[in-house]
Structure 1
Amino acid sequence: MNRHTIRKPTMLRLLILCIVALASVKFLLGSQVNRDADMSVEVDEEKRVLQQRGALRWEEEWEKNNEGPGGRQVPDKPRATSQLDSSPTQFRVVHFDLKGAAPKVSYLEQIFPLLSTLGANGILLEYEDMFPFEGDLQILRSPYAYSAEDIEKIRYLAGLSNLEVIPLVQVFGHLEFALKHNKFAELREVPEYPNSLNPHTPGSQALVRSMLSQVLDKHPGTRWLHIGADEVFGLGEGLDSKNWLNSNNGDLGKMFLNHVKEVGSYVTDSHPGLGLLMWDDMMRHISVETLRESGLPNFVSPMVWRYHADLETNQIETYISSYQAAGFSNVWFASAFKGASGPAQDWTPVSYHLNNHLGWLKVINAMSRFPSIHFQGIVLTGWQRYDHFSVLCELFPVGIPSLAVCLQTLKHDGFTDEAKKQIQYFLGCKNFNLDKNLCEGGGSFPGNEVYQMVLHIRENLQNDIQKLLANNLVRGWFSRYHRKYQFGNPRNLEKFKDRLSKLLEDWESYLQNFRTHLEDIFFPDTVEEWMEENVNEYMDQLRSLATDFEAVIKRGGQPKLL
Structure 2
Amino acid sequence: MQCPPWPKGKKLVHLDLKGAPPRVEYLHRLIELFSQLGVDGLLVEYEDVFPYEGELKLLQATAQPAYSREEVLSMQEFAKSKRMEVIPLVQTFGHMEFVLKHRPMWHLREVAQCVGTLNPHKEDGVKLVMEMLRQVVELHPNLSTLHIGADEVYMLGEGEESTTWLASPGRTVEQLFLGHVTKVAKAIKEAWPHMTIMMWDDMMRGMSQDTLKACGLVGLVQPMLWDYNPNLDVDKTVSLLEKYSSAGMSDLWAASSFKGSTSVYTCVTNTQRHVDNHLQWLQVAASLSAGVNLKGIAITGWQRYDHLSVLCELMPVALPSLAACLQTLLHGQFSAEAHSKVTDMLGISSVEVEAMGRMSAGDSLFPGRRLAELIVELDSLLNSGDVRFFDNSMYVRGWFSPYHLQRKSVNPLITMQIHSQATVYLAMLQQKAEAVREEMVQFYPDSTAQEWLEEHVHPVTAPLQKLTEDTGACVKEMMP
Give the TM-score normalised by structure 1: 0.78
Residue deviations 1:154-174 (CA, integer Å, cap 9, x gap): 212222333211100111111
Are the structure 2 counterparts of residues 471 and 389 from structure 1 closer, same or farther at C-alpha, using a change threshold of 3 Å? closer
1:401 pairs with 2:320: yes
Q: In structure 1, which of residues 157, 161, 165 is the aligned counterpart of residue 82 of structure 2?
A: 161
User: Does the CA contact (< 8 Å) of 2:378 and 2:432 recur in 1?
Assistant: no
1:441 pairs with 2:362: no
CA RMSD of aligned residues (A): 2.5
- Deviation, 1:264, is 1.0
1:370 pairs with 2:286: no
The one-letter amino acid of 1:267's match is I
Count residues in correspondence: 469
Residue deviations 1:266-311 (CA, integer Å, cap 9, x gap): 1122112111000111122223233223331212111011111111
Match of 2:382 in 1: 461
Q: In structure 1, which of residues 327, 336, 349 is the aligned counterpart of residue 257 of structure 2?
A: 336
Equivalent position SS for 1:278: strand
The one-letter amino acid of 2:356's match is E
Q: In structure 2, which of residues 178, 181, 190 is the aligned counterpart of residue 257 of structure 1?
A: 178
User: Does the CA contact (< 8 Å) of 1:488 and 1:557 recur in 2?
Assistant: no
Q: Which runs of 5+ in 1 are unaligned?
A: 1-84
Q: In structure 2, what is the Cα distance between the partners aligned to 1:454 and 1:115?
A: 22
1:119 pairs with 2:38: yes
- Deviation, 1:543, is 2.2
Match of 2:9 in 1: 90
User: Does the CA contact (< 8 Å) of 1:343 and 1:391 recur in 2?
Assistant: yes
Match of 2:442 in 1: 520
Q: In structure 2, what is the Cα distance between the partners aligned to 1:310 and 1:231?
A: 21
Match of 1:361 in 2: 282
User: Does the CA contact (< 8 Å) of 2:354 and 2:376 recur in 1?
Assistant: no
- Deviation, 1:240, is 2.0
Match of 1:551 in 2: 473
The one-letter amino acid of 2:354's match is L
Q: In structure 1, what is the Cα distance between the partners aligned to 2:330 and 2:290?
A: 22
Equivalent position SS for 2:214: helix
The one-letter amino acid of 2:439's match is H
Residue deviations 1:2-34 (CA, integer Å, cap 9, x gap): xxxxxxxxxxxxxxxxxxxxxxxxxxxxxxxxx
User: Does the CA contact (< 8 Å) of 2:51 and 2:69 recur in 1?
Assistant: yes
1:234 pairs with 2:155: yes
User: Does the CA contact (< 8 Å) of 1:430 and 1:442 recur in 2?
Assistant: no
Q: Which moved more, 1:421-430 or 1:460-469?
A: 460-469
Q: In structure 1, what is the Cα distance between the partners aligned to 2:306 and 2:417?
A: 49
- Deviation, 1:473, is 7.1
Q: In structure 2, what is the Cα distance between the partners aligned to 1:171 and 1:462?
A: 39
Match of 1:419 in 2: 338
The one-letter amino acid of 1:90's match is G
Residue deviations 1:498-538 (CA, integer Å, cap 9, x gap): 65554443432222121111212222332222212211122
Match of 1:272 in 2: 193
Match of 1:138 in 2: 57
Alignment of 1:296-311 (within 5 A): 296-311=217-232
User: Does the CA contact (< 8 Å) of 1:288 and 1:323 recur in 2?
Assistant: yes
Q: In structure 2, what is the Cα distance between the partners aligned to 1:219 and 1:203?
A: 24
Are the structure 2 counterparts of residues 532 and 296 from structure 1 closer, same or farther at C-alpha, using a change threshold of 3 Å? same
Q: In structure 2, what is the Cα distance between the partners aligned to 1:106 and 1:248?
A: 57
Are the structure 2 counterparts of residues 491 and 177 from structure 1 closer, same or farther at C-alpha, using a change threshold of 3 Å? closer
- Deviation, 1:255, is 2.5
Alignment of 1:9-158 (within 5 A): 87-143=6-62, 144=64, 145-158=66-79
- Deviation, 1:340, is 1.4
Identical columns (%): 39
Q: Which runs of 5+ in 2 are unaligned?
A: none
Are the structure 2 counterparts of residues 494 and 317 from structure 1 closer, same or farther at C-alpha, using a change threshold of 3 Å? closer
Q: Which moved more, 1:486-495 or 1:151-160?
A: 486-495
Q: In structure 2, what is the Cα distance between the partners aligned to 1:459 and 1:518?
A: 18
The one-letter amino acid of 1:414's match is Q
Equivalent position SS for 2:113: coil
Are the structure 2 counterparts of residues 415 and 505 from structure 1 closer, same or farther at C-alpha, using a change threshold of 3 Å? same
Are the structure 2 counterparts of residues 90 and 479 from structure 1 closer, same or farther at C-alpha, using a change threshold of 3 Å? same
Equivalent position SS for 1:303: strand
Equivalent position SS for 2:15: strand
Q: In structure 2, which of residues 130, 138, 152 is the aligned counterpart of residue 217 of structure 1?
A: 138
Larger Rg: 1
Q: In structure 1, which of residues 330, 346, 369 is the aligned counterpart of residue 267 of structure 2?
A: 346
The one-letter amino acid of 2:375's match is V
Q: In structure 2, which of residues 243, 253, 261 is the aligned counterpart of residue 322 of structure 1?
A: 243
1:530 pairs with 2:459: no
Higher helix proportion, which one? 1
Q: Which moved more, 1:503-512 or 1:525-534?
A: 503-512
Match of 2:91 in 1: 170
Give the TM-score normalised by structure 2: 0.90
- Deviation, 1:111, is 1.1
